[in-house]
Amino acid sequence: MRLNTVGRISISRDAGVPSGLVSRKPETFFRIFRAFIAAIVLLSLTGACSDSGPLNETQLKRFTEAQTLYRNKKFDEALSRLRQLREERPDALEAASLEARILFFTKKFEESEQVLKEVLDRDPENPHALMWLGKTIAVDAERQAEAAEHFRAIVERDPENYMARYYLGRCLEAQNKIRPALLEYQAALAMEYQISKIHLHMGRLLSGINMEDRAKKHFARVRALGVSPGDMQLAARAEASPETEEEAKAGGTPRR
């Protein structure tokens, strides 16, 4: 499974689990599966944050602390940790992207734009930076056409990125380009149906491996999307009666 940082979730058919594991007993499978997922998360944090090698243990700790502070909207504290990290590792692109998001939410749009442009200087096709640069520029009512170009660049590379299509539609609408805006909105809505399915299945899988808090967030997202009554009913049933590991592994329906 791969999470795209600009809002789109894509799942490979194989999901990366060696086929030999599926013949083991369920408890063995899920123990190995949990270790496998934990390893992927750790590798993504240690290897994807820079373009010249992984962060060391202290730097990684500082980055994860900054992420937690950001999620809790403690922006000043998060920014302090990130700037310490970026002084040590100016090549840490994920740290720079997080700093840009904090600057955006604290309405320091010019600073956010500058940081994002620095990221794109190092990685010109970074979809996460392109998305946030477009959003930052779009704050200025006079720069809608410029912002639209960044969203259009994402869509050209990734036509199924529904968030990029949504923001592109907003920019086109602001320019009074009603018909093209409607087409982008319609494309985004069509993709949202698949997103609902993915949240439902992720919630059921997480519930099956006793990660109820995370599972509930995915079930809540199914309800918030509201694009599939069937998915909403299944999410409510799964939340009321969590699956066992065996049911999640088998992909069966939640217990009644």
User: What pTM does this model have?
Assistant: 0.61
Domains annotated on the chain, with CATH: 56-115 (1.25.40), 198-256 (no CATH)
Is the CB of residue 250 less than 8 Å from the CB of residue 244?
no
Q: 143 exposed, middle or buried (CB, 10 Å; 0-12, 13-18, 19+)?
A: middle
Predicted confidence (pLDDT) per residue in 17-35, tens digit: 333 333 333 344 344 444 4
Predicted confidence (pLDDT) per residue in 125-179, tens digit: 898 999 999 999 999 999 999 999 999 999 999 998 989 999 999 999 999 999 9
pLDDT, position 248: 44
